[in-house]
A and B are shown apart, each in its own frame.
Chain A
Amino acid sequence: MDMSQVVIDVKGLNKWYGEFHVLKNIDLEVHKGERIVICGPSGSGKSTLIRCMNRLERHQEGTITVDGTELTNNLKGIEKIRREVGMVFQNFNLFPHMTVLENLTLAPVWVRRMPRREAEATAMRYLERVRIAEQAGKYPGQLSGGQQQRVAIARALCMSPNILLFDEPTSALDPEMIKEVLDVMVSLAEEDMTMVCVTHEMGFARTVADRIIFMDHGEIVEQNSPEEFFSNPQYDRTKLFLSQILHH
């Protein structure tokens, strides 16, 4: 594993929503194959940060470079990045008017110009991976939350991304479904996928993450390896957050 190559490079990032300073001086390097967990209280800017990484949000100051391409208003660059970066959302965001299989083949066919048969074969492979192949012909509305999120992960995988972004993928799920989604994420991590996960699943963070980043008030308070982060937090704010989230 070539951990030296930087695939996401965020430098001096500042973002405002109107007058509201939502991200402050963020510096962050993500290396190839690295698994990063971002946590922090609600409203601290976690979603905004990772949504900047595939330019679902525009930033005003600083640079974000993904796979060597800087994110600017250049549409070609944005299209290229979005092909390489997959994203999984809290609310799944599956397309409700398409079957599971159509959800999975839409982007490969229309973005990657992949022959439909091939796209379907790939889609079926990934559906097997997330152990849901028998649901291929159903519509999202017919699936449980956990199943929908696994389909969403498979949909992102179908574009063969180099990087996967997760925005609280288990927060909208019932407790008994969280594990089935986490299992899939763990297996992805074992295959050296570069992952940036916003999550509050501290068990997942402990076992899988290479680095944990804690954010508050739009800035990175501290970042550390899981062992250090849990056993030896540097800041009072981190400690407070951990005590709230672990003793629940």
Chain B
Amino acid sequence: MSEIKTFVPTPDSPPPLTSTGVLRWLRDNLFSSWFNSLLTLLALALLVRVVPPLVSWALVHAVWTGGPGVCDDASGACWAFIAAKARVMLIGTYPPELAWRPLAAGALLAGVVAATVSGRCKKRVLTGLWPVFFAAALWLVGGGAGLETVDQSRWGGLMLSLGLAAVGILVSVPLGILLALGRRSGMGGVSAVCIGFIELVRGVPLITILFMASVMMPLFLPPNFQINNLLRVQVGIILFSSAYIAEVVRGGLQAIPKGQIDAAKALGLSPWMVTVFVVLPQAVRHVLPALIGRCIALFKDTSLVIIVGLLDFLGMAKAASQDQLWLGHEVEGYVFCAAVYWVICFGMSRYGRSLEKRGPQTNR
């Protein structure tokens, strides 16, 4: 029997220079084949055609400050128009001297969002924080109890968009959960009603629902009990959104393993306790990213209220561009609007994705 040798691994050597470095990266990622090189060149050509003119319009030749008319001979963007119209775009025709109130509500919102996104706050604290914030924001904006009341007809701009979306989410999530539970309740009558509602709403455009809320609802209600257009539109948004949320929640309910329900039943929990304590929390946690997706969609959808005569953020941007003193700056208004919408929606979708990554289990 021969001597046993000791195996000593050869030390790693660095990869050959040709396989690392910037040049290698360029080769692998941009010029790996003639077809890829062609694509790269086309993409670069596109960028060269688009980016410099864009930068020159938006930054280099832009006019940043000044009153009406400063932009008359400018070849770039007229951000002075945005500066002049920022107030109406943000808070609509809200009394200027009371503007601090919606601004304070906005600051509160920023704080609560920061607390939620940071992930440092306990879930229980957050569940308490949000309703408190809603009450405070409503009081600040609407007035009453010591503050001068501001009529709803003067709510507008981004504030209105956020408000419609926030109240829409707040109400349609529980409603959607109820609908989803009803749909899966196994009680023929109830689930038929829920299915009918969900599928009807999901089958038609939001506009038709908004028209219904705005034009048809007054016909449904008794003459001595009429509600204003804003509230009617809000109801329409809630009904619309709850049908979609019901479908999202249903997906979560279906994903709960049957073993969970069996285990809970075996512990002697009654059916509704099983639902409330075992099934729902898991289901909602499971579909949290999808729910956030619905929130984004809802926020984007609020822009449709312009069609039934409410002036939300987009509506105000459109209205502002019709000001005789500032004609011809629609594009700037829309770009500003798009930037704000984009930041909010992209932020939400990033948050949803981070929840997905963190996984449903760790998100307590």
Direct chain A–B contact by Cβ atoms under 8 Å:
yes
Give me the interface of A with B, judged by CB distance under 8 Å: 14, 16, 18-21, 24-25, 60-61, 216-217, 219, 221, 232-239
Query: Could you tell me if A19 and B14 are in contact, using CB atoms closer than 8 angstroms?
Result: yes
How far apart are the CA atoms of A232 and B9 in the complex, in Å?
A: 21
Q: Which 7 A-B pairs have the closest CB atoms?
A: A237-B7, A16-B15, A21-B12, A217-B9, A235-B7, A60-B19, A24-B10
Whether A16 contacts B19 by the Cβ 8 Å rule is yes
- Tell me the residues in window 46-90 of chain B with beta carbons closer than 8 Å to chain A beta carbons: none
Instruction: Tell me which of A24, A60, A234, A238 contacts B16 (CB under 8 A).
Output: A60
**Known contacts being A19-B20, A221-B7, A237-B7, is A232 close to B2, with CB within 8 Å?**
yes
Q: Is the CB of A219 within 8 A of B12?
A: no
Separation of A94 and B13 alpha carbons in the complex (Å): 38
- Evaluate whether A21 and B7 lie within 8 angstroms (CB atoms) in the complex, with A232-B1, A232-B2, A234-B2 already known: no
- B2: chain A residues within 8 A (beta carbon): 232, 234
- Asked if B15 contacts A234 (CB within 8 A), the reply is no
Taken residue by residue from 1 to 42, chain B's Cβ proximity to chain A (1 for < 8 Å, 0 otherwise) reads as: 110111101101111101110000000000000000000000
Given contacts A236-B4, A239-B4, A216 and B15 within 8 Å (CB-CB): no
Chain B positions near chain A (C-beta within 8 angstroms): 1-2, 4-7, 9-10, 12-16, 18-20
Does A219 lie within 8 Å of B5, measured CB to CB? no
Flag if A236 contacts B10 (CB, 8 Å): no
B-side contacts of A238, CB under 8 Å: 7
The docked-state distance in angstroms from the alpha carbon of A210 to that of B141 is: 85
Interface contact B12-A235, CB-CB below 8 Å? no
A25, B10: Cα distance in complex, Å: 9
Complex: A237 Cα to B9 Cα, angstroms: 10
Residues of A within 8 A of B13 (CB): 14, 21, 24
Q: Which of A14, A16, A18, A233 has the most CB of B within 10 A?
A: A16
A57 and B55 CA atoms in complex are apart in Å by 43
Per the bound structure, the CA–CA distance linking A20 and B12 in Å amounts to 8
CA distance A21 to B16 in the complex (A): 11
Chain A: minimal CB distance from B36 (Å): 13
How far in angstroms is the closest Cβ of chain A from B118? Answer: 34
Q: How far is the CB of B240 from chain A (nearest CB, A)?
A: 38
- Docked CA distance A237–B13 (Å): 22
Chain A residues closer than 8 Å to B20, beta-carbon distance: 18-19
Indicate which residue in B4, B6, B18 contacts A60 across the interface (CB closer than 8 Å): B18
| Neighbouring B residues of A232 by C-beta, 8 Å | 1-2
Cα–Cα distance between A221 and B9 once the two chains are bound (Å):
9
Q: CA–CA, A236 to B3, complex, Å?
A: 10
* Assembled-state Cα–Cα distance A239/B16 (Å): 34
Given contacts A19-B14, A25-B10, A219-B10, contact A236 B19 (CB under 8 A): no
Give the CA-CA distance A60 to B16 in the complex, in Å. 8
A216 contacts across to B, CB distance below 8 A: 7, 9
Closest residue on chain B to residue A232 by CB atoms:
B1
Chosen A-B contacts, 15 in total, with CB atoms closer than 8 Å, are A14-B13, A16-B19, A18-B15, A19-B14, A19-B15, A21-B12, A21-B13, A21-B15, A219-B9, A235-B5, A235-B6, A236-B4, A236-B6, A238-B7, A239-B4
What's the nearest-Cβ distance from chain A to residue B2, in Å? 7
**How far apart sit A97 and B36, CA to CA, in the bound complex (Å)?**
30
Separation of A61 and B12 alpha carbons in the complex (Å):
14
Contacts of A239 in B (CB 8 A): 4
Chain A residue numbers with a CB within 8 Å of B1 are: 232
Q: How far is A16 from B13 in the complex, measured between Cα atoms in Å?
A: 9
Chain A residue nearest to B7 in the complex (CB): A237
The CA of A219 and the CA of B7, in the complex, are separated in Å by 11
B27 CB, min distance to chain A CBs, angstroms = 12
Q: Which of B4, B10, B16 is in CB contact (< 8 Å) with A235?
A: B4
Contacts of A234 in B (CB 8 A): 2, 4-5
Cα separation A20 to B18 with both chains bound (whole Å): 15
Which of B1, B7, B19, B20 has the most chain A CB atoms inside 10 A of its CB? Answer: B7
* Known A19-B20, A232-B1, A239-B4; contact A60-B9, beta-carbon cutoff 8 A: no
**B319: shortest Cβ distance to chain A, in Å?**
54
A108 to B337 CA separation, bound complex (whole angstroms): 58
Chain B nearest Cβ from A62, distance in angstroms: 11
